[in-house]
Chains A and B, each alone.
Chain A
Amino acid sequence: MDAEPLKRFLKTEGATLVGIGDVTAALSSEIIHLRRGIAIAVNRNLNRETVDQLIRLQALAEGWLRAKGYRSLSIPADSDRKKDKMITKLYKLFCHKTAATCSGLGWVGKNGLLINREYGSKLSWATVLTNAPFRADAPTSQSECGDCDLCVRHCPSGAVKGEHWTLADPLKEIVSYEKCRALKTRRISHSSKPNCGFCITVCPYSRNGNNHGTT
């Protein structure tokens, strides 16, 4: 089944990137019937408006699929997860990076973040899983970070190890989340922005003349 009409539709509605990934290998038994991941990205700062935009795009995708008789499950943006719901349990079974890499929209960089060749890490992601039998895009299987180790050298907590990600071993710990979190915890007491963000600011792909959208 051709996914182009859906991709075009979501892009006219404001999506920056839309990809279709075969995510079968990453699915746990609860959601194993939803074999395609629709990765949706917008190139905006992650704030309330961006989240609302992603929610709107997901709802549009779900409606489009429903009208054709397919199932779907929206995995909301990471910053929009209501904590006390039963359905929330399913969200953490699936990670947006999986949909993005499986649909060829980027790789997981040495900094542990999804890097897109054009936009770097300056994208906000949401995923819609579906059982619609879309023809999947070609996945990204290798990191394209190469020899660059700017994020390794600039990470103030020493969390970035310099490992290469591969699609074959997506669970390898590339960044020591413990060290990253420890720094964040220390910063919370004296900063309103506890995420230091150096690993994004120094990344050539994220710098690459790419400002966020107008916001």
Chain B
Amino acid sequence: MADEARKKEIYEKLRNGVIQYDEDACREGAQEALDAGLDANEAIFDGLVSGMEEVGRLFEAQEYFVPEILMCADALYAGLDILKPHCKQMDLGVRGSVVIGTVEGDVHDIGKNLVKMMFDVAGFHVYDLGRDVPLDKFVDEQLKTDSELVCLSAMMTTSMVGMPTVIEKIKAKNPDCMIMIGGAPTSKDLADKWGADGYAEDASNALKEAIKMVGFLKKLRDEKLNKK
């Protein structure tokens, strides 16, 4: 088992790898974490996610813009791909699966991909339907996978209008399924009106929400660890 200093060094490498969008550093750091016998979940949260939190801060401070965020996300994935297979299922009560996609007529999927990243990090099983997804495909996929959560994304008003149809159909077949909508034209009012359970405004807000949620998970985990 690695000593504390080594552990800190590796987590710092992962964190900085994400912040400086250095995919190679993230890959190396992830491999070092595994070689040193560190816990993969911990490496993800205290290394990669911690870096992404800083990225979110830099974005709010307008130090980073969308291109930087996407490059940071790519770096995070470079590390995540290596660590993920070694993750123990986290017992945080958030286990589950999610169906996600951009609705028919819309090919904008940057926000959707950032939200997807949050679910990947949190250990969800993600069924990513991609973009320009026929409305019924969401309903079918939810039934087939029995996912607890369905996320619908749209950037254009013209494609957003398909959302209430999907929500209605899914809720009719499976009232317990949670549905989140997101994208520039959506609003809390619309989410309420259509019976969706949550909403995120656009790619940058999606990232902020994603970080908040992952931060919350991290807190839950820390509390759990402290109790032991």
Contact = CB atoms under 8 A, between A and B. Distances in A.
A30 B74 contact: no
A71 interface: yes
A186 interface: no
A73 B67 contact: yes
A87 interface: yes
17 contacts: A30-B65, A30-B66, A30-B110, A31-B65, A31-B67, A34-B67, A85-B74, A86-B71, A86-B73, A86-B77, A86-B110, A86-B113, A87-B67, A87-B70, A89-B109, A89-B110, A90-B70
A86 B67 contact: no
Contacts of B71: 86-87
Interface string A79-116: 00000011101100000000000000000000000000
- Interface residue tally on B, bucketed by range: 10 to 19
A11 interface: no
- Majority SS of interface residues in chain B? helix
Contacts of A90: 66-67, 70, 110
B81 to A, nearest CB: 10
Contacts of B110: 30, 86, 89-90
Contacts of A87: 67, 70-71, 74
A33 interface: yes
Contacts of B77: 86
A33 B69 CA distance: 14
Interface in B174-228: 203
A185 to B, nearest CB: 21
Interface string B104-131: 0000011001100100000000000000
Contacts of A34: 67
A87 B77 CA distance: 12
A89 B71 CA distance: 11
Contact of B65 (A33, A85, A86, A89): A33
A34 B65 CA distance: 10
Interface string A31-70: 1011000000000000000000000000000000000000
Nearest to B64: A71
Interface in B65-87: 65-67, 70-71, 73-74, 77
A26 to B, nearest CB: 16
A33 B63 CA distance: 12
